[in-house]
Amino acid sequence: MNVGIVSDHRGIVLKQKLTDYLNKKGYTVIDYGTNSKERVDYPDFAFELCNNVINNNVTLGIAICGTGIGMCIACNKVKGIRCAKVSNANEAFLARQHNSANIVALSADTCLLEAKDIIDKFLTTNFSGDERHIKRIEKITEYEVKHER
């Protein structure tokens, strides 16, 4: 499986540790940046990851920033992306099984052991395909803001 990974300047250490971990497990990890501790704008990297998920260059993605929240918000601006900011392996499991999340967002402060558990669960869990979950995802995908005048 090809996995895309990105981080901002705060997430670079965790990103490198997870990349090494996943490579040892046999995953092909594609790093879309950043590769510097100099301050960067996380949306640039989030959008690069999203484009590669949408274009099927990678199967799933991992996004890391200070809190994980900024990356998650940016990723979810891209049509077809369902990014979940998770804090534990159970949330990663449910994000994949119920929401068919295709990107997981993590805080740079997540301890490595917890981050490994989260990523393992995220990458090995399949979407349930249950009708109730499909219906909910379709509602999210098809929603358009209605402007009242």
How many whole angstroms separate alpha carbon 46 and alpha carbon 149? 34
Q: How much is the pLDDT for 147?
A: 66
Is the pLDDT assigned to residue 38 strictly greater than 90? yes
Please name which of 2, 35, 24 lies closest in space to residue 102, comparing C-alpha atoms. 2
CA 76, chain centre distance (Å): 10
98 counts as catalytic: yes
Residue pLDDT, tens place only, 4-28: 999 999 999 999 999 999 999 999 9
Q: How much is the pLDDT for 27?
A: 98
Q: What is the mean pLDDT of residues 88-107?
A: 98
Residue pLDDT, tens place only, 42-68: 999 999 999 999 999 999 999 999 999
Is the pLDDT assigned to residue 83 strictly greater than 70? yes
The catalytic residue among 9, 50, 65, 75 is 65
How many whole angstroms separate alpha carbon 46 and alpha carbon 27? 20
Q: What is the mean pLDDT of residues 74-89?
A: 97
Which strands, in side-by-side order, build the sheet including 83-85?
28-31, 2-7, 60-65, 103-107, 83-85
Mean pLDDT, all residues of the chain = 96
Question: Could you give the domains of the chain?
Answer: 2-142 (3.40.1400.10)
Question: pTM of this prediction?
Answer: 0.95
